[in-house]
Amino acid sequence: MSVSQTEAIAHIANSVGGAVFVTQPAKAVESSFTSYFPDAYTLIESNDPYAHIDNYLQSQEEVDFVTVTSSGFTVLRNLPFLSAATFKANRVVSHVQLDNFDFSIVSSLRDLGYPVLISQSPKESAQYAKVAYNLATRLNTSVFHFFVPSNFKSNDAANIKGKTLLNDIQDLEIGAILEEFDVQPFEAANSVSKPNDSILFLGQLSEELVKAATKENTLLISVKVYQPFQLQKLLSIIPASVQTITLVEQSTSSTSFSPLLLDFFQEYTKFQTLKNFTKIVAATFGFIKADKFSQTVTNLLSNVRSEQPIQNLSFGKVNTELTTKSSIQRNVEHAKAVEKAYTLEQAYLKVLQQINSGNLNVLNEYESDNVGLETNPEFGFGSFLFDEQQQQRLVNLVYKSVQENPFHTIDNGNLIEYLSKWLVQIKETGAVENKLVEEIISLLQTDETTAIA
């Protein structure tokens, strides 16, 4: 019986145990992992889930494995939290579904120092999930496993049986751990005879792409372990006949630079004796229809074979949204959930407006861009409570000052009158006229002896 990528990953995660966090678009829209982790913590993708995980890690005296299932877009939005020391010093394994085929999300992790793996079939997802937990154990750090919904080699059976964690893991290097699970950092996706050109591809493999490269007698190499970027391993699998290499990243947007090119040149001078290229070119693949891959690869190679290749060319449609069928379905479900919640909120809001017609402040009103200065409702409410507390302290101070009149300004009478008006306005409307505030400040500035001023 065949298993899906989700099922394979869930089985491996359950075999190692530990806390599990599942992110999903909304409370009413479940993740594909939800049914496999009944005891998981559920986090909403728009509410900074990795900030919550960071808090969890800090609250624990001892942390075993932590498993996170999420989406590529969620990881991208949470990049600021991923540099926290807690993620660098704990075994947090994130299984990230890349359902929009934007591999720039993968390369966005290049400077964080975490191992990054990419699987594209149920068989690979099972293998790489095991590798992820072993790397997390060996390095005592977070690991990111991106899995791409793909039909490429989808019939290969996934091995979810057997032991997940290796014995004597601390005695093994990264390369040895990969070998234990038959994982190569870079893998040739086709077989060609004495090729002159090669393509290093950070993207979703397809039969059409493989056939197109093979037709051009070009070696197509897929990135399996993005970080650490083991250039020596890459150069060792490229035949002596190869003269050019094109580094291609699949992305939904065009860019003026290539992270993959930066990775390549980071250690190229060190290993250049292994392989010299006449030309090294970077490019981007956007959305390409299946029947257009042949022409696209031909155009790509025409550029690298020219006397002066152009760097960072984009092929196919970029600056567009690429999604899988499952992703589209989740978006539809999310939209329905939002519409239902909005309808219910409107009914409740009408009641509130009738009761508090002149004094109603909805912090997270549906059409607002944020909650105060925050995009997260919880943080926004906390910010509101803090501001309210500070305002009450100011009200108490002003009230006391009006009663005691400790000032030495040029016109104490007017100052007390203005402060009294300030108290009335803040109580009735929650706001004060700017002109009144300016008058108060102007008078207070003439008092150089009273500390409260």
Task: Evaluate whether 140 touches 108 at the Cβ level (below 8 Å).
Answer: no
Task: Average the pLDDT over each of 99-113, 174-188, 412-426 and give the range with the smallest value.
Answer: 412-426
CA angle, residues 86, 89, 94, in degrees to nearest 5 = 75
pLDDT tens-digit series, residues 103-120: 999 999 999 999 999 999
pLDDT band at 390 (very low <50, low <70, confident <90, very high): confident
Cα-Cα-Cα-Cα dihedral sign, residues 367, 370, 375, 379: negative
Q: What is the pLDDT of residue 372?
A: 47
Task: Evaluate whether 99 touches 71 at the Cβ level (below 8 Å).
Answer: yes
Report, at the CATH architecture level, how domain 186-315 is classified: 3-Layer(aba) Sandwich (3.40)
pLDDT tens-digit series, residues 444-453: 888 877 666 5
386 CB contacts (<8 Å, ≥6 apart)? none
pLDDT tens-digit series, residues 43-57: 999 999 999 999 999
SS3 state at 143: strand
Task: Evaluate whether 203 touches 249 at the Cβ level (below 8 Å).
Answer: yes
pLDDT tens-digit series, residues 139-168: 999 999 999 987 777 777 788 888 899 999
The residue type found at 321 is E
Checking if the pLDDT of 377 tops 70, the result is: no
Q: Do domains 5-180 and 186-315 have the same CATH topology?
A: yes
Domain boundaries, the chain: 5-180, 186-315, 324-360, 377-444
127-141, 243-257, 426-440 — which one is most confidently predicted on average? 127-141
pLDDT band at 344 (very low <50, low <70, confident <90, very high): low
Task: Evaluate whether 88 touches 140 at the Cβ level (below 8 Å).
Answer: no
284 CB contacts (<8 Å, ≥6 apart)? 248, 249, 250, 251, 254, 255, 258, 312, 313, 314, 315, 318
- Average pLDDT over the chain reads 88
Query: Selecting from 3.40.50.300, 3.40.30.10, 3.20.20.190, 3.40.50.970, what CATH number does the domain 5-180 have?
Result: 3.40.50.970
Percent of the chain with pLDDT over 90: 62
Task: Average the pLDDT over each of 247-261, 305-319, 358-372 and give the range with the smallest value.
Answer: 358-372
pLDDT band at 371 (very low <50, low <70, confident <90, very high): very low
Between CA 232 and CA 446 the distance in angstroms is 73
From 249, 247, 314, 321, select the one nearest 104 (Cα to Cα).
249
Residue 219 half-sphere exposure, CB side, CA atoms within 13 Å?
22
Between CA 61 and CA 45 the distance in angstroms is 26
Between CA 249 and CA 240 the distance in angstroms is 24
pLDDT band at 442 (very low <50, low <70, confident <90, very high): confident
Between CA 298 and CA 328 the distance in angstroms is 31
Neighbour-count burial of 297, counting CB atoms closer than 10 A to its CB (0-12 exposed, 13-18 middle, 19+ buried): buried
Q: Label the pairing between strands 313-315 and 225-227.
A: unpaired
Overall average pLDDT of the 348-362 stretch = 66
Q: What is the pLDDT of residue 5?
A: 94
